C-alpha cells in the first residue's frame, strides 16, 4: 500500500514530466504509454481487441500505436497460430529497457520529493 499526499503526487508528476521532456528521446503519447505499460505489466496474451477493450479506445488506436512503437522497437507483433485472426503483442528487450529506465526515473524523482 503506497500512501502519498496530493501535493507530493503533483510534485512527483512535475519532476517526472520535466525529466521526460528534457530527455530528448522520442516521447510517447499518453495512449501509447498506457498500452506499453499494459503489455509489460499485465499477464499475456495481449491482442488488439483485448487492449482496445482494456483502454476503452477503438481498435485503430491500438493498431496505430503498435505501428509506431513497433518501429521504435518497443513491442513486436506475431500472428496467433491457434486463431489466425488474432495478433499477439509481444515484449522486446528494448521495450523492457525503456520501462526499466522509466521506473528508475520515477523512483529517483520520488526520492527528491519532500
Partner DNA sequence: GCAGACTAAAACGGAAGCGAAACAAAGCGA
Partner DNA sequence: TCGCTTTGTTTCGCTTCCGTTTTAGTCTGC
Q: Applying CB under 8 A, which residues contact a copy of itself?
A: 1-14, 17-18, 20-22, 27, 29-31, 33-34, 37-38, 40-41, 54-57, 99-100, 102-104, 106-107, 110-111, 113-114
Residue found under cell 491482442: 47
Please tell me the number of Cα atoms within 13 Å of 106 on its side-chain side.
9
Beta bridge partners of 29: none
Nearer to a copy of itself, 88 or 106 (CB): 106
Cβ atoms of residues 50 and 35 within 8 Å:
no
Residue whose C-alpha is closest to residue 106's, from 4, 26, 29: 4
Cβ atoms of residues 46 and 38 within 8 Å:
yes
Contact call for residue 35 and DNA (CB under 7 A): no
Q: Which does 68 bind (CB under 5 to 8 A by kind): DNA, a copy of itself, none?
A: DNA
- Contacting DNA (CB under 7 A), which of 64, 90, 92, 113? 64
Contact footprint for DNA (CB under 7 A): 29, 31-32, 47-50, 52, 57-68, 77, 82-87
Amino acid at each position: 500500500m503506497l500512501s502519498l499526499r496530493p501535493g507530493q503526487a503533483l510534485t512527483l508528476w512535475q519532476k517526472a514530466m520535466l525529466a521526460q521532456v528534457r530527455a530528448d528521446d522520442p516521447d510517447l503519447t499518453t495512449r501509447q504509454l498506457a498500452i506499453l505499460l499494459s503489455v509489460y505489466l499485465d499477464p499475456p496474451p495481449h491482442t488488439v481487441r483485448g487492449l482496445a477493450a482494456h483502454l476503452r479506445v477503438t481498435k485503430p488506436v491500438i493498431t496505430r500505436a503498435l505501428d509506431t512503437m513497433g518501429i521504435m522497437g518497443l513491442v513486436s507483433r506475431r500472428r496467433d497460430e491457434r486463431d489466425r485472426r488474432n495478433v499477439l503483442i509481444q515484449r522486446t528487450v528494448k521495450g523492457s529497457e525503456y520501462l526499466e529506465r522509466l521506473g528508475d526515473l520515477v523512483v529517483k524523482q520520488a526520492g527528491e520529493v519532500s
